[in-house]
Structure 1
């Protein structure tokens, strides 16, 4: 083999290596959202916390981030916001492990069912990194605290909206963000428990939206197609109510339905004002973010006697919209 051929092979191998690295970095970026971290800036703060969200651009999680970042700035905390690009438990757990390896001072994360999550919480605690679950709890883990809604109670409230504001037999279609999500299952359990004393109300069907508006619209359409006699629809996660309205406006705009949603995103509030959504179960994500930061600061020095910090939850309708604080904006 002459020297020119050797050089050509070496050049091609180098090009292949560079291309492979570029592809790996590109798909890593597409899979996860990780804020650019300025290590020097982080060193100038009291503590470095990580908020691991369900997915990057989910409006609900951005409100949690907003509240947490405001509290972090006030308390001289460096807060890093990380999330999968799209909701994916496996990817979220990879990020969890990565934040533990980064030796942050505390982690705020949505709880995930399964041994892997429990093991990672244990790993963090072994390294003296307190972990808070937010929005969804995993009581079987060693998490130091839970901050968020009492999801079972929230499900009961969703049932109450139909019990209190309808008459006669009601056939209810339910749209859940993810069928395997702990918080969604707790809400469904609360809903089922509450309607036990209201035999005129029955669940016709349950579909999954994959926490997208399009998915919720498709789920609502499928429920209506299979059960055209439904009288009510309930969306169990933040984007479900919005998607339900948009889907039903397309396929059955004249169909009268009682629609209950979750959360008080601006679009949800606008639909309530217009009469398209009859009620929503309010959560206060900014307050969750603020409370989680305060709780992690406390946990730097001591454990909590009361480790469940429930954020207020209530029924919001067109008649009491004025009760909303600026927290949802």
Structure 2
């Protein structure tokens, strides 16, 4: 009898143990199935990783370039890693470019501010990483293509506006964002080549703002004090026009001046509406960023691309303003 009782106890214990293991494994299988279902529900990882390196990450202009690229990112199954210095710093940009090369990304879109970028662009290309220059070109490098403003043309348009809108002798003060950066050099060069057609217009001095609002105001103030005969100003970066107007106001000289600014920054548009700026040269940074992604993917996939893709540049006066402002943005 005791033997039978013990056998029943063993069988019951075995049954309970087996049931426990069954429930345990059932629960784990359910959890595993749930995890698999969740993973399947997640979007697939983007096929391509592209690095976008701008001059100044949080600048209005470069923010629009980044927004354009990010909008294209969704369409083209691509992850765009947008980076840039907090303030304009070519050396930091070069470090970011080197990091992108070492990370072996699928493609690099970069502003090539000076000749130092050529070495790293060529290094990337030799490693099989295609490079597209944006906003500022490096035509003598191995880069695949350039997308952005024709900066020489932008300077010419500024010069043509001055010729068209003024009469008699005009003495011009120029405040440029940078003496070293190629795109600012081209904007000054294009401007000079147009105004030299008429002897009545002369540049009396050129100063550098280092792409800083406070310096553009300081340099304009200095120019107005040192050259009492200045009757016009040309600023080649987005903050230069703002600084010029502020300096002229402080000296009660604005009524006497013709002022050309750069880029459709909100503040510049307000100054244009108030007739404190006479002309704004407009660019298309959002379009640059958006188009650069599609062009880069064409390159990655072995398609033929053009050597240069110029985006629109225009002369904007108060009469050209409309209720619907495009995504023109502000440049560096």
2:137 corresponds in structure 1 to 137
Give distance in 1, aligned partners of 2:72 and 2:215.
34
Q: Judging changes above 3 Å, is the alpha-carbon distance between structure 1 residues 143 and 42 closer, same or farther for their aligned structure 2 residues?
A: farther
Q: Distance in 1 between matches of 2:255 and 2:320?
A: 25
- Equivalent residues of 2:238, 2:262 under 8 A apart: yes
Which residue of structure 1 aligns with residue 54 of structure 2? 53
Alignment of structure 1 residues 303-314 onto 2, 5 Å? 304-314=304-314
| TM-score scaled by length of structure 1 | 0.84
Q: In the superposition, relative to structure 1, how do residues 223 and 303 fare at CA in structure 2: closer, same or farther (>3 Å)? A: farther
Secondary structure, counterpart of 1:49 in structure 2: strand
Spell out, residue by residue over 1:13-67, the C-alpha distance to the aligned partner (whole angstroms, 9 max, x if none): xxxxxxxxxxxxxxxxxxxxxxxxxxxx998002111111111221111111111
CA distance in 1, matches of 2:43, 2:235: 40
Shift, 1:255, TM fit: 4.5
**Is residue 201 of structure 2 the alignment partner of residue 184 of structure 1?**
no
Task: Say which SS state the counterpart of residue 228 (structure 2) adopts.
Answer: coil
Counterpart CA distance in 2 for 1:163 and 1:130 is 42
- How many Å apart are 1:254 and its aligned residue? 5.0
Q: 1:175 to 1:323 in 2, by over 3 A?
A: farther
1:250 corresponding residue in structure 2: 250
CA 1:42 to 1:272, structure 2 compared with 1: closer, same or farther past 3 Å? farther
Unaligned segments of structure 1, at least 5 residues: 1-40
Q: TM-score, normalised to structure 2's length?
A: 0.83
2:271 corresponding residue in structure 1: 271
1:175–1:206 CA contact under 8 A, matched in 2: yes
Cα distance in structure 1, aligned partners of 2:320 and 2:204 = 29
2:97 match? 96
Aligned to 1:70: 71
Q: Does the aligned pair in 1 maintain the 2:298–2:305 contact within 8 Å?
A: no
Aligned residues: 288
Q: Which moved more, 1:54-63 or 1:41-50?
A: 41-50
| Structure 2 spans left out of the alignment, 5+ residues | 1-41
Per-residue CA distance 1:303-324 (angstroms, 9 max, x = gap): 5342200001110000111297
Q: Would you say the 8 A contact 1:233–1:258 is kept in 2?
A: yes
CA distance in 2, matches of 1:271, 1:189: 25
CA contact (8 A) 1:153 1:187 kept: yes
| 1:227-275 superposed Cα distances (whole Å, 9 cap, x missing partner) | 1110001110122112211222223355421010111111111111111
Q: Mean Cα displacement is larger for which, 250-259 or 97-106?
A: 250-259
